[in-house]
Amino acid sequence: MNSQHEFVLRTVEERDIRFIRLWFTDILGALKSVVMSPSELESAFEEGVGFDGSSVEGFSRISESDTIALPDPSTFQILPFDQDEPDLQSARMFCDIAQPDGQPALVDPRHILRRQVTEAANDGFTCMVSPEIEFYLLENTQDITKLCPTDNGGYFDQATHDNAPSFRRRAMLALESMGIATEFSHHETAPGQQEIDLRHADILSMADNIMTFRHLIKEVARAQSVRATFMPKPFEHLPGSGMHTHMSLFEGTSNAFHDPDDEFSLSDTAKQFIAGILRHSLEMTAVTNQWTNSYKRLMFGSEAPGAATWGVSNRSALVRVPTYRLGKAESRRVEIRSIDSAMNPYLGYAVLLAAGLKGIRDGYELGDPAEDDVHKLTHRERRAMGYQDLPLSLDHALRLFEKSEFLAEVLGEHVFEYFLRSKWEEWHLYQKQITTFELKNNLNF
């Protein structure tokens, strides 16, 4: 029992917390939860909480189903929704998943990201990230063929007549109450589309924050009788929802991406990091964009990148180098723009960090930045300029993924194989459906 454990136990008693929610995710990023009584908390810290791992997607076979959830006391936070009902007051902690012998479970997405955090630390780096998370607010309806945004606003609009008044302010208060620092919020380009930006944090804490963010946003939406969705592209004629993520590496308190003598204030470390992400971006796309719907955003989204390029202030590039405050060392960062809001943040951030670190270790060289609007270039023009197109479908992405020794090493054999099988099944189910488009165009033949 250490000081963090003691703090949690003391807080639970002082605040009269009635329920403890233990959170973790499956391989695809679905949030899992088990609720326990405070009286079990001390033994949970010492021994963990046993559960049937074979019932969680991708965790274990039924013959080896005993799995342990170990609460991480550093993630303890009181949930904000039951404060008016003391008998329901709850707190949550994220868990690390372990085998019965106490060894980390190789299938735990949080452990996979932690491995890369350790790799970065061995190279002298701490990775800091800051995501811009987009999502839609929709009218509540049981008919999913009649989805309707809650407002008709546009980019940065001050919505005065919508069906979720004060939503973003309520959401930001809920996030701040759980220790998740926000920077900005605003209406995005499409009706009903919102964006909330989180303040930078270390990459593992941010993955936890993103999972908490999704839960809180849906709860705040439900309280206002609307629905929030992080689906990459719910509407055919409206933009998709991305999760543009700003990344930087620090050596102690110094930003390893900053070089005041470079034209763009980018160090060699930053350039190699970018080169690593670009070189491995195609094979990583199945992880950073894991759903069949993700490719509707990449192909037809107004600001989603279609090719593995980098650029300075170029929002059509996969990796953008912001030029705000070029002389401010702590602000030097790169922005990854291909990611969508439905990514498993543990696996997605793990592969991005691993790719960037590989670029640094192996001394990858970075080509010239893209200066054109890459969206407006034809396939032939992009090819002539040396740009590689991102996969156009989950099928295409999986074919690249399954050939990747790099990703098999980062994810581990079990997760790599399970992810591949699960996603092939999704693709085949998607493929065999008969769509309204097909009936409309082919039924009369």
Do you know the residue count of the chain? Answer: 445
Answer whether 165's CB lies under 8 Å from 196's CB: no
DSSP per-residue letters across 182-231: EEEEEE-SSTTEEEEEEPPEEHHHHHHHHHHHHHHHHHHHHHTTEEEE--
Measured between alpha carbons, how far is 97 from 104 in angstroms, rounded to an integer?
A: 6
Inter-CA distances, 167 with 161, 191, 244, 400, Å: 12, 14, 21, 40
Q: Model pTM?
A: 0.94
H or E element that contains 133: strand 126-139
- Rounded to the nearest angstrom, the gap between the alpha carbon of residue 224 and the centroid of all alpha carbons in its chain is 25
* pLDDT score, position 314: 87
Kindly state the tokens that stand for 74. Answer: 């550093």
Question: Domains plus CATH for the chain?
Answer: 3-105 (3.10.20.70), 115-437 (3.30.590.10)
Q: How many CB atoms lie within 10 A of CB 43?
A: 11
Angle at CA of residue 425, ends 422 and 430, nearest 5°: 130
Q: Is the dihedral of CA 24, 25, 26, 32 positive or negative?
A: positive
Distances (CA, A) of 200 to 64, 306, 347: 39, 26, 19
CA distance 88 to 156: 37
User: CA dist 165 to 141, 170, 214, 230, Å?
Assistant: 18, 9, 19, 20
SS3 90: strand
pLDDT for residue 303: 77
* pLDDT at site 159: 60
Which residues touch 129 (CB under 8 Å, ≥6 apart)? Answer: 200, 201, 202, 203, 206, 245, 246, 247, 248, 349
Cα–Cα dist 138/182, whole Å? 23
Q: Which amino acid is it at 245?
A: T
C-alpha angle with apex 261: 260 to 266, nearest 5 degrees?
65
The pLDDT, as a whole number, for residue 59 is: 59
Specify whether the CB–CB gap between 264 and 271 falls below 8 A: no
Q: What is the pLDDT of residue 372?
A: 82
Q: How far is residue 322's CA from residue 324's CA, in Å, rounded to a whole number? A: 6
Query: CA angle, corner 221, sides to 172 and 235, nearest 5?
Result: 110
Structure-token pair, residue 50: 């046993």
What's the number of CA atoms in the CB half-sphere (13 Å) around residue 384? 5
Q: DSSP per residue over 389-422, as a string?
A: BPPSSHHHHHHHHTT-HHHHHHH-HHHHHHHHHH
Return the axis-axis angle of helices 345-361 and 109-122, rounded to nearest 10°. 20
pLDDT at 99: 86
What gap in Å lies between CA 19 and CA 256, rounded to an integer? 43
Who's near 83: CB < 8 A, 6+ residues apart? 89
Report the chain (445 residues): mean pLDDT per 10 consecutive residues: 90 93 94 92 90 61 64 95 78 93 89 97 98 95 87 69 77 94 89 94 98 96 94 94 97 95 94 98 98 94 85 90 82 95 98 98 94 82 88 97 98 94 96 94 94
Provide the pLDDT for residue 58.
55
Q: What distances in angstroms separate CA 189 from CA 166, 247, 342, one per listed residue?
A: 18, 24, 19
Q: Which residue type occupies 435? A: T
Residues 141, 213: Cα–Cα separation, whole Å: 23
Q: If we measure between CA atoms, which residue out of 389, 29, 377, 372 comes closest to residue 213?
A: 29
Give percent helix, percent strand, percent coil of the chain, each to the nearest 5.
40, 20, 40
Please answer whether residues 106 and 98 qualify as being in contact, where contact means their C-beta atoms are separated by less than 8 angstroms. Answer: no
